Amino acid sequence: MSLVLDVRNLRLAVKTDEGRAQILDRVELALPRGRILGLVGESGCGKSTLVRAVLGILPKNAVIESGEILFEGEDLLRLSERELARRVRGSRIGFIPQDPYLALNPVFKIGAQLLPVMRWHAPAPADGPRSGAALLRAHRSRLVEILRRVQIPEPEAVLERYPHQFSGGQRQRLMIAGALACSPRLIIADEPTTALDVTTQLQILKLLKSLATEFDVSMLFVTHDFGVVAQLCDEITVMYAGQTVESGPTATVLGSPQHPYTEALLACHPDRARELAGIPGAVPSPLDPPPGCRFWPRCPHAIEYCRRRPARFSEGRRGQLVNCRLADPLPDAAA
């Protein structure tokens, strides 16, 4: 099966005042075409940093040390800033941010924010208008059509309104419309429902699921809510402290989790509908990550070997990728 997004062995560090922080360490992620992948992990595990690395919008102090980010087979890390802006970000990869309250520029009308994106990427139809006012009209009518599709009432009037005139749910619909505007191949949504109330959350999730099929777009969906994953996603990748710890099809990972961290996360909320809470301990600071397996200070199965164990993937019982000695067929030193 071909992969839309294939992140391999990604390592990323940030230089801070207190020293060098290893934010991402050997991250692996594979998103098959046409699927929705849920990226799960507690807050501070590096999910947003991974998203920003894929989009090429990392903070200035971040350095990618190694790895590949293959998008439709092309390594994004080899592209220049210009190429990324021109033909990846916003055009082939759409982005839905976490907080729709903060992500819209308060002093511009909706139309003035979304239409320039379409103009910049100019997905002019082959037989359609090529320039000027006609092109703008074409973009406008496409945007209006998408706004209608994401269930925004009075889409024409909406273009003339300012962000503060919308509710949170409506703003998130606007962001979804913005992400779809240029017909992307991949949509990355970074906790798009976290800032919303439960009812709105459900509506947005349903909408995303149907849009993914309708627009034939793959989706990377970041969340810390397993309930959301169960409802929406085909695949799961679990991250802990900057590392991928387990990944595979949703049913497999939820049905027979093999990494102790995944187990712990699932055990926190058996009804799988609440936010993650309650694993004893905290995500270690990336400034001073524990040696060996990063989960050992909190892991109920930790043994001395885990402190020396390098991150290493093996295939779990049902084919998922697991980064733990318990799934490792060749533990160097058994207990």
Which residue's CB is nearer to another protein, number 195 or number 311?
A: 195
Where do the DSSP E strands lie in the chain? 3-16, 19-32, 36-40, 62-71, 74-75, 93-96, 186-190, 218-223, 235-240, 243-249, 314-315, 321-322
Beta bridge partners of 94: 187
Q: Say whether residue 178 binds another protein (CB under 8 A).
A: yes
Phi/psi at 39 (5° precision): -100, 115
Q: How far apart are CA 148 and CA 155, in angstroms?
A: 6
Which residue's CB is nearer to ligand SF4, number 98 or number 262?
A: 262
Query: CA angle, corner 320, sides to 9 and 318, nearest 5?
Result: 160
Question: Would you say 184 and 123 are in contact if contact means Cβ atoms under 8 Å apart?
Answer: no
Q: Which does 45 bind (CB under 5 to 8 A by kind): ligand ADP, another protein, ligand SF4, none?
A: ligand ADP
Q: Say whether residue 226 binds ligand SF4 (CB under 6 A).
A: no
What is the separation of C-alpha 265 from the centre of its chain, rounded to a whole number of angstroms?
19
Which residue's CB is nearer to another protein, number 117 or number 208?
A: 117
Q: Which does 57 bind (CB under 5 to 8 A by kind): Mg ion, another protein, ligand ADP, none?
A: another protein
Exactly one of 88, 293, 311, 321 binds ligand SF4 (CB under 6 A); that residue is 293
Sheet order of strands, 243-249 included = 93-96, 186-190, 218-223, 36-40, 235-240, 243-249, 321-322, 314-315
Site map 301..330 versus ligand SF4, x via CB under 6 A: xx---x--x--------------xxx----
Exactly one of 184, 260, 284, 286 binds ligand SF4 (CB under 6 A); that residue is 260
3-state SS, residue 24:
strand
Q: How many residues belong to the chain?
A: 335
| Residue whose CB is nearest to Mg ion in the complex, by number | 48
Q: Say whether residue 91 binds another protein (CB under 8 A).
A: yes
Q: Say whether residue 46 binds another protein (CB under 8 A).
A: no
Phi/psi at 236 (5° precision): -130, 140
CB of 169 to another protein, least distance (A): 18
Number of CB atoms found within 10 A of residue 210's CB: 11
Q: Say whether residue 117 binds another protein (CB under 8 A).
A: yes
Q: Which does 107 bind (CB under 5 to 8 A by kind): ligand ADP, ligand SF4, another protein, none?
A: another protein
DSSP per residue, 153-197: SSHHHHTTS-GGGS-HHHHHHHHHHHHHTT--SEEEEESTTTTS-
b/e burial code for range 78-98 (CB count within 10 A of at least 16 → b): ebeeeebbeebbbbbbbbbbb
Task: Identify residues 29-88 at the interface with ligand ADP (CB under 6 A).
Answer: 41, 43-49, 59, 61
Which residue's CB is nearer to Mg ion, number 48 or number 200?
A: 48
Phi/psi at 278 (5° precision): 95, 15
Which residue's CB is nearer to ligand ADP, number 63 or number 134?
A: 63
Select from 162, 176, 33 the least CA-distant residue to 109.
Answer: 162
Q: Say whether residue 299 binds ligand SF4 (CB under 6 A).
A: yes
CB of 288 to ligand ADP, least distance (A): 11
Site for another protein, rule CB under 8 A: 52, 55, 57, 81-82, 84-86, 88-91, 95, 97, 99, 102-108, 113, 116-117, 120-121, 162, 164, 175, 178
Site for ligand ADP, rule CB under 6 A: 14, 16, 21, 23, 41, 43-49, 59, 61, 286
Site for ligand SF4, rule CB under 6 A: 259-260, 293, 295-296, 299, 301-302, 306, 309, 324-326
